[in-house]
A and B are shown apart, each in its own frame.
Chain A
Amino acid sequence: MAIITYREALNQALREEMLRDDRVFLMGEEVAVYQGAYKVSKGLLQEFGEMRVVDTPITELGFAGVGVGAAMVGLRPIIEFMTWNFALLALDQVVNAAAKMLYMTNGQFPMPMVFRGPNGAALQLGAQHSQAWESWLAHIPGLKVVTPGTPYDAKGLLKAAIRDDNPVCFLEGEMLYNTKGEVPEEEYVIPLGKAEVKREGDHVSLITHGKMVLVALQAADQLAKEGIRCEVVDLRTIRPMDVDAITASVRKTNRAVVVEEGWEVCGVGAQVVDYVQRHCFDYLDAPVLRVHQADAPMPYAKNIEKAAKPDVPKTIAAVKQVLYIDA
């Protein structure tokens, strides 16, 4: 299997799906001539031309709406946000139009489209460029929300998202684009809504998604040296969430820690914990704990930015707490 970057994996998915279906087009800021702000769309303009790889003005609400309109009459748009932070300007189209169109029209107008771009904090980008939006988006019926954590998942899930006849919010990790992993040469598609156990274990379940998959795996590696066997469950899709996978793991380990990049209040972890208390109440040996961003906007200064973010030491501490091990 080839070892490629997360960025290359996404690029392959875009290219393969554009070759497969001429209704698929990519639209967004800097996707064409500039080759993508993060170079995810590198080479696509040259291969597919300017009608299918479309540079837009800085007009998130506008081009998100263009995508909705194009989807209404049968195209399959991929709308790239340079980051999901900018997508806030477009949320009327995502939430009021794309998510509700099928329902409001009694099934007449499906919305086969993808909204995609980087999500979450990078390094020292400050408060307005460092946010994880999956809990906001996952709140909305009518959307699917996908958060790949590895190159393999990025490619297989993006291909599934493009083929899906529903609006899919595809949240990439800004810090993941350069990460590498094995990706098969042959075609594959990963179904949306299916979690994956990234590492098996029987002492505690680490339930996570997106960029935090790497954090959870690193924490599990370190804990293994102390004889603690963590099971890492990568949700991969936040909506619909794979409740069966969560339930199966927690019923096996009897303990759980949820690791997410976003804030605590009404976060993804809150939903996971709700499923756990409903489906695993009699199996739990400890309260479920959560690791997340500090309850403050993201600061710039290195030391307090680091303190704000969920990381390996915080995850290890939470695991030891649910195991009642003194740190």
Chain B
Amino acid sequence: MSTTKPPRRRVSPSADAASAEQDKAPAAQTPEERKSLHMQLLHSMLLQRRFEERTAEMYAIGRIGGFCHLYIGQEAVSTGFTSLLRDDDYVITTYRDHGQALARGMTPRAIMAELFGRVDGCVGGKGGSMHLFDKSLGFLGGHGIVGGHIPIAAGVGFAIKYRGGDQVVVCFMGEAAVNNGAFHEALNMASLWKLPCLFVIENNRYGMGTAVERASAINDIYKRGASYDMPRDVIDGQDVFAVRAAAATAIARARTESIPTLLEIRTYRFMGHSMSDAVSGTYRTKEELEKYLKRDPVVLLRTQMEENGDLSNAEWTAMDDEIKATVQDAIDFAENSPEPALEALLEDVLVDTTSD
């Protein structure tokens, strides 16, 4: 295994709500500030894209096993939110978690090694694709049961309030989770108790192969917020600036007023539900996919930056080459990382400590 790890890079800019305000009021931004921010956003999104393209390749050749759910097409959502969070905030998500983990600052090495089931993975090879965690980043997983992590997010919000802190917790979920009882129970308590939670529904139109219209009595998912008297909004999830604007408002509301928000982010996954699912076929058409591919969030941002004169061809190529090299480094690192020792099998079932 390689011994020198690159320094952990927080991919997301350490910007706060003020930088999203600048999105809305570009005049208040110097051109240099704008370019710097946009380059960071593009880097975060492109890293997710290139990482998962290689992930698919590694899955196809058997380096990665089990279930593996790709995030390609949704990168503006993870980047949009995490780019506005503080280091002491929390992020919790589903099994489609590679994108959020990267955006939150987990290293490609730690994630790829985890996907390979190796000891240098973020959870030592015990979690795999669906269970990425990093306590130091406030990245609370990586949960495999649809809806199961939503009450956990409410509990994190409860703990923040219990301690009198001003952090927030961002809970990502798919649109299919809203039909699960856990969603209802968690949102009811979060609103009842005024917990600093953002419930972010990444509406990618399909719960596995079931279209939202075939699963939810209310197609405008954000309207469900009315049931809990919760502030709510619906956002174009392919536009990272639209995501950031909505995120900034909700984060400020949670941080300063301890009021939760329900946000429906309309996006689309460009890949199948998991690696075992065809990109199009039984439940969605090639034509539909092609329509959404025209609104690729990475392409949209790149185009906008080019039009603003913030991204030259050479800069794009340099960024893309650097990211591809980073991902290759992660693959090499994962290949060379040892499998967990057999003793690990029975480790961390219980701890032998108490609060004494």
Query: Which positions in A face B, CB cutoff 8 Å?
Result: 21, 23, 25, 51, 56-57, 59, 61-77, 92-93, 96-97, 102-110, 112, 141-142, 144, 160, 162-166
Contact = CB atoms under 8 A, between A and B. Distances in A.
A302 B308 CA distance: 82
A97 B154 CA distance: 14
Interface in B157-192: 157-162, 181-182, 185-186, 188-189, 192
B140 A72 contact: yes
A77 B185 CA distance: 18
Interface stretch (B4-12, B126-134, B216-224): B126-134
Interface hub of A23, A61, A105, A162 (most chain B Cβ within 10 A) = A105
Interface residues of B, number: 48
A66 B158 contact: yes
Interface string B255-299: 000000000000000000000000000000000000000000000
A65 B152 contact: yes
A66 B186 CA distance: 8
B159 A73 contact: yes
Contact of A66 (B90, B123, B134, B155): B155
B350 A72 contact: no
Nearest to B186: A62
The main secondary structure of chain B at its interface with chain A is mixed
Interface hub of A66, A102, A103, A108 (most chain B Cβ within 10 A) = A66
Interface string B130-158: 01011100001111110011111111111
10 contacts: A25-B162, A57-B188, A62-B185, A69-B156, A70-B162, A73-B159, A93-B152, A104-B142, A163-B355, A163-B356
Contact of A102 (B140, B150, B160, B348): B348
B226 interface: no
Contacts of B347: 107
B151 A93 contact: yes
B90 A166 contact: no
Contacts of B161: 51
- What 10 pairs across the A-B complex have the smallest Cβ distances? A69-B155, A65-B151, A62-B185, A66-B155, A106-B124, A69-B152, A106-B123, A59-B185, A70-B159, A69-B156
Contacts of B189: 56-57, 59, 62-63, 66
Contact of A72 (B122, B152, B181, B348): B152
A46 to B, nearest CB: 19
Contacts of A67: 155
Contacts of A142: 349-350
